[in-house]
Amino acid sequence: MNLLGSKNGKRLQNAERLQAEQMCIRDRTYLGLAIGSDEAARPVWPLIRAISTSVAGMAVVPAQDLFELGSEARMNTPSVAAGNWSWRAPERGWTPELAALLAPLAEVTDRDNDPLGVPEEEPEISAE
């Protein structure tokens, strides 16, 4: 008998499964994803919104996330010597539809400026 009172570990497996399900529900709730909603099927966009609304001076979203790609689009696989850093964005991936999703985020979060660009000159205020 183990610490949880099960001879074969079945109770432990059920507890682990229940814990994983509760974590999933908690994570979806935190991200504002209603189970069964369209966003629940596309969880990357609430994460992109969270990144965009952070207080960080710069928000970086990997292109693979914008295109909603899976692990097949990894840039780098640790401990694998060959095949890394060869991923390229799909030729027609940068679509007007994608721009339409990103534009409101950039506008609302004031991330439509270029933080690496030349700063605009401040107008001089006269002391009159």
Structure confidence by residue, pLDDT tens digits, 68-112: 888 888 888 889 888 888 889 988 999 999 999 888 888 888 876
Q: What is the spatial distance between Cα 70 and Cα 30, in angstroms, rounded to a whole number?
A: 22
Q: What is the spatial distance between Cα 64 and Cα 54, in angstroms, rounded to a whole number?
A: 20
Neighbours of 19 (CB within 10 A): 10
The phi, psi pair for 116, rounded to 5°, reads -100, -5
Binning pLDDT at 50, 70 and 90, where does residue 16 land? low
**pLDDT exceeds cutoff 70 at 25:** no
Give tens-digit pLDDT for 36-69.
555 556 678 888 888 888 888 888 899 999 998 8
- In contact, 46 and 68? CB cutoff 8 Å: no
